[in-house]
Structure 1
Amino acid sequence: MSDSTNQNFKPSLNHDDIRNFEPVDNCLDGKTILVTGAGAGIGRVAALTYARYGATVLLLGRTSSKLEAVYDEIESMGGKQPAVLPMDLEAATYNEMQQLEGLITKEVGQLDGILHNAGLLGVLTPLEMYDVDMFAKVMKVNVTATFMLTQALLPLLKDAANGSIVFTSSTVGTHPRAFWGAYALSKQATEGMSDIFTQETQNTSNLRFNCINPGGTRTNMRAHAFPGEDPMTLKTPAEIMAGYVCLMSDASINVRGQVVALQPKD
């Protein structure tokens, strides 16, 4: 996949439209959206933004205290009551994810979207020297757990009027870069996963799969990757939220199999 349109679909929006999307109030009203890695960084801001535009947000992450803080923020701004779903994606089993599907079905009754935001950077080092245990950890969180969670929740998503699954990629996934090791490979795999899901569901009108490449953003992960960089030169997560809202809204119903770079010059 690339910045060009997947051959099976003609999106009603191009990538500039998505990047510069202007959400209207309550454009996510009636939708239930699960956000992984919702306790901090882009995930936290996405969860708050989705709630601001009317969605019921399911907050998934490994640190309950951080999720509870986001829960409180959503409630304090008058958003719909969210849910806290503690889960360590590195350790979680497929059975636990199936149980989560049952819990969401019972307690919420629907799921309209997933933002797969959680991820591990790992280490920046030559592949020749890459620690194999760290490699496995990065691939588990960034690829395997993402696949498992998507598959486990597909029954709910298929029942949605317009289900949207958004994966998180990276510039080093689209264009692999030396020393980025497991992270770059995991993002290549993520783009491939989205592409394959898109091809396999091309006759399923209510499901769409896309990737977002947020680009250089003021987060802790970025600071670890580029410790000498001035964070004030980077956009904040709030400044790139238009694309995140667009791909969850019904405006993007015909956008499928895309990798949308929110900062294409990054």
Structure 2
Amino acid sequence: MKNYQAPKDLLQNRVILVTGAGKGIGREAALTYAAHGATVLLHGRNVAQLETVYDEIEAAGCPQPAIIPLDFEKADDKAFEGLAGSIGLQLKRLDGILHNATAALSPFPLELHSMEQWLQLLRVNVAAPAALTRACLPLLKASPSASIIMTGESHGHTPTAFWGAYAVSKAALEPMVKIWAQELENLHPNLRINALIPGPVNSPIRRKTHPGEDHLNMTQPADLMPAYLYLMGDDSAAIKGEVVTLT
């Protein structure tokens, strides 16, 4: 998967929503999906960052993207349903979601976590992807071939001291992916969902939690794109309900 070579038209004529598209892995994925033919919907909180990604996609001559600003910490079911409704009204289809928006805290003991911190992380990292997926299911079910990718995290996959609510919230994605895959398998074989754990990568969150690392000499977001392309495109159609680790 790491060495997958995607055809240039892998995502031609598809509409893909990327959450957390303003920076890090989400930004790189948005640019990459657009370069392979997709109309990319750029989600994030920081409109200025999204506008920069938008301009990069347009400058490269890729399909015109769209910007969808939404704060997952504050969004409710009505907001997610409105987002999905707008996609259906304006674009008439949705063929994939990359859930990459993440809230994180620097490592500290579990006994010091406040209720507010728990709720923030669980809301952004678990509840929001679940609610957004649910709202978009009618569009995804109507697609000839749709893929949902949840970006997991190595500390959630293998629980480690001091990673607390962040690790717990990311770990929760794994059973959610497996449950959803089982529920969709027979009725909607055209729709698949998987989790991808990229491992240590030079991202804004990694620089926040590991400030002393040599980030320039570690895995870069671009190095992950063969795997993100593979799981979004039809070559991975048989892979459902899997937790894929790249470490």
Shorter-normalised TM range: over 0.9
List alignment gaps of at least 5 residues for structure 2.
Answer: none
Does structure 1 retain, via aligned residues, the 8 Å contact 2:106–2:208?
no
SS in 2 for 1:23: coil
Contact preservation (8 Å) 2:105, 2:209: no
Structure 2: how far apart are the matches of 1:116 and 1:169? 9
Q: Secondary structure at the match of 2:161?
A: coil
2:9 to 22, 26, 29: 26
The aligned residue for residue 206 of structure 1 is 190
Name the residue aligned to 2:109: 126
CA distance in 1, matches of 2:105, 2:92: 36
Query: In 1, distance between residues paired with 2:66 and 2:73?
Result: 21
What is the aligned partner in structure 2 of residue 251 from structure 1?
Answer: 235
Listed one character per residue, the Cα deviations across residues 150-169 of structure 1 (whole Å, up to 9, x for unaligned) are 10000100000111010011
Contact 1:34–1:114 (CA<8 Å) still a contact in 2?
A: yes
2-structure distance, mates of 1:99, 1:120: 22
Q: Deviations over 1:43-76 (max 9, x none)?
A: 0010000000000000011111111111110000
Structure 2 partner of 1:3: none
Deviation of 1:136 (Å)? 0.9
Structure 1 unaligned segments of length 5 or more: list them: 1-17
The whole-number CA distance in structure 2 between the counterparts of 1:81 and 1:49 is 14
- Counterparts of 2:27 and 2:146 in 1: how far apart (Å)? 21
Q: CA deviation at 1:112?
A: 0.3
| 1:101-116 matches, cutoff 5 A | 101-116=84-99
Question: Structure 2-normalised TM-score?
Answer: 0.98
Structure 1 stretches (4+) deviating beyond 6 angstroms?
Answer: none
Counterpart for residue 52 of structure 1: 35
Structure 1 residue 19: Cα displacement: 2.2
Residue 90 (structure 1) aligned with residue 73 (structure 2):
yes
1:182 corresponds to which residue? 165
After TM superposition, the score normalised by the length of structure 1 is: 0.91
Paired with 2:110 and 2:224, the residues of 1 have a C-alpha distance of: 32
Deviation, structure 1 residue 227: 1.3
Aligned 1:152-163 pairs, distance under 5 A: 152-163=135-146
Q: Which protein has greater RCO, CA pairs closer than 8 Å, 6+ apart?
A: 1
**CA separation in 1, counterparts of 2:183 and 2:43?**
27
The CA RMSD over aligned residues, in Å, is 0.9
Taking the aligned partners of 1:168 and 1:183, their CA distance within structure 2 comes to 13
Matched residue, 1:15:
none
Q: CA separation in 2, counterparts of 1:107 and 1:201? A: 26
Equivalent-residue separation in structure 2 for 1:104 and 1:211 (angstroms): 24
2-side partners of 1:107 and 1:205: how far apart?
26
Offset at residue 233 of structure 1 (A): 2.4
Q: Distance in 2 between matches of 1:114 and 1:48?
A: 14
Q: State the alpha-carbon separation in 1 of the partners of residues 222 and 58 from structure 2.
A: 19
Tell me, what secondary structure is at the counterpart of 1:158?
helix
**1:218 and 2:202 aligned:** yes
